[in-house]
Structure 1
Amino acid sequence: MAIVNTNCPTITLTTDFGLIDNYAGIIKGIILYLNPCARIIDISSNAPPFNIEAGSYLLETSYHNFPPGTIHLGIIDPGVGSRRKSLVVETEDHFFVGPDNGLFSFLGPKQIRRIISLTKKKYFLKDVSPTFHGRDIFAPIAAYLSLGVQPDRFGPELESIVRPKPLKARKTDMALGRIIYIDRFGNLVTSLKSPDLPAGRINVHLNDHNIGYVRTTFGSVKIGQPVCYINSFGYLEIAVNQGSAAEYFDIDYKSAAKILIAPV
């Protein structure tokens, strides 16, 4: 059971709000208004707009670096105001607050201790906007958690969370995946992890491009050449040494990029 350090609680923030508009700042203001002692840490507010997969990747690869009792506020919410549920998900050491849209699907069923549907309006802001649940529901819930309010005070318990269809497939000696995140260097993170890869020496193909076999790091190839490797979070990633793989292969989030892993 996760326990918040109410003397110095930590709340992380992962959103697609960006830093130009005032949305992320307002979220922090609401939290600090309710709990001036809260420490708010930005994981990122530059997740690509509406991209739940990318937001999930950012959260998955970040949350375990924070101390037990941390509250993780995730707001990538293209379905805001719809019938999708609002949640607190509790694991052994952490809390996750946000929409039930697959954002927290990286948490396996065995990791989850309980799931709470946020229905008790006394813990929301007075006038809830149908277009800004981050401000009116998720931020105050995170703040109340940081003050020691137990999750079951916020609403009834649920059996499960939304889990999208898998973004990868394994077929005998081959694996199929897709691009789930593009970082600021233009590195292409795939949906495939190290255990998903076939045994032995393999070739990585991005659409019609043969990237070659899995290397160790960027410098395994000459400057300007593409390379694939297992990144520091355990995902297969495609890069260009001191360049942008996104530009090199003309890939963005709207591209139908397919990853094929096959034996040499």
Structure 2
Amino acid sequence: MPTPIITLTTDFGKKDHFAAAVKGAIYSELENAMVVDVSHDVSPFNIQEAAYIIQNAYKSFPAGSIHIIGIDAELTPENRHIALKMDGHYFVCANNGIISMISSAFVAEKMVEINIHNTMQTSFTVLDVFVKVACHIARGGTLDVIGKPAGTIKELTTIQPAVSNDGSQIIGNVIYIDNYGNVVTNITKKLFEDIGKTRAFEISVRNHRFTKIYNNYSDFVNFDIPANERQVDGSGLIVFNSASFLEVAIYKSNPQTVGGASSLYALDYRDTITINFN
């Protein structure tokens, strides 16, 4: 039976040694481990951003995979450590609300509060405690050995879109900005369709207006026009992304050169996007 995959999602970045040290510790514990970096570029302590990344990544991994989440993970009386099995996957993280943001649809099959801290000297929780727990699970160990039954998952209320009483307007918020500078909102395709009911609409992004939503970035291009006459690069568009969230994008954007939707429309985390239905 192959060793389960261990994934890493942290806000450590790439400059420092932290991410490499965690991977080294895993390989020292479990030589044949399969370690996958989901992301180390989560904005510091941004639980909402981390939850968006993890909820859209973990389902692509095989059942039984173990996901270490190193976001706001320092142990305190108000920030205990947990290990749980949910939706066929294992998660090792702080009980800081991130699990409630990853999924409200699943109930933990088993959850424990990790209690092995006294067995080791540590000032680096993810390196020491989370690695020990993940490798224990990967070897086939049970959760009961590394913790005591935990009560409840801490609930954090995510930013929710606001719908007007008459159903004529949705006000959403930016929840994530990707590597291309594309701006992801908390407005889902389902919400848009449930409220919009096929009505005409106008999406307001700062002082820009959009009246069409694309399902793919390339749908924005009219391929009947010769390539040298299209002039679409750098144009703004609205799409439902692969996770079915409304996204403000720039066609073939590059934040390092021409800019992305975040910079060109001056949008940041929690900023608002408005949809008005006619």
- TM-score category, normalised to shorter length: 0.7 to 0.9
Give, as a single letter, the amino acid of the residue that structure 2 aligns with 1:145: I
Cross-structure match for 1:115 = 111
Q: Superposition pairs for residues 1-264 of structure 1, below 5 Å?
A: 7-77=2-72, 80-83=74-77, 84-105=79-100, 106-108=102-104, 110-121=106-117, 126-129=120-123, 132-171=124-163, 172=165, 173=167, 174-197=169-192, 198=195, 199-200=197-198, 201-219=200-218, 220=220, 222-243=232-253, 244-253=260-269, 256-264=270-278
Contact 2:116 2:129 in 1 (8 A): no
Bigger share in helix: 2
Quote the offset at 1:98 in angstroms: 0.8
**Structure 1: distance between partners of 2:114 and 2:94:** 10
Give, as a single letter, the amino acid of the residue that structure 2 aligns with 1:163: E
**Structure 2: distance between partners of 1:27 and 1:156:** 25
How many residue pairs match? The answer is 252
**1:25-79: CA deviations, max 9, x gaps?**
11111111111121001111111222111111110000010111100111111x6
Quote the offset at 1:207 in angstroms: 4.1
Contact 2:206 2:265 in 1 (8 A): no
**Structure 1: distance between partners of 2:240 and 2:110:** 32
Counterpart of 1:215 in 2: which secondary structure? coil
Percent sequence identity is 27
Quote the offset at 1:128 in angstroms: 1.9
Give, as a single letter, the amino acid of the residue that structure 2 aligns with 1:135: L
Cross-structure match for 2:227 = none
Judged with a 3 Å threshold, the aligned counterparts in structure 2 of structure 1 residues 29 and 164 are, in CA distance, closer, same or farther, namely: same
**Structure-2-length-normalised TM-score:** 0.84
Moved over 4 A (4+): none
**Structure 2: distance between partners of 1:110 and 1:216:** 28
Judged with a 3 Å threshold, the aligned counterparts in structure 2 of structure 1 residues 209 and 161 are, in CA distance, closer, same or farther, namely: farther
Contact 2:161 2:172 in 1 (8 A): yes
**Structure 2: distance between partners of 1:211 and 1:49:** 32
| CA radius of gyration, larger in | 2
**Structure 2: distance between partners of 1:158 and 1:236:** 36
**Structure 2: distance between partners of 1:86 and 1:232:** 32
**Structure-1-length-normalised TM-score:** 0.88
**Structure 1: distance between partners of 2:112 and 2:135:** 16
5+ residue gaps, structure 1 = none
Judged with a 3 Å threshold, the aligned counterparts in structure 2 of structure 1 residues 109 and 186 are, in CA distance, closer, same or farther, namely: closer
5+ residue gaps, structure 2 = 222-231, 254-259
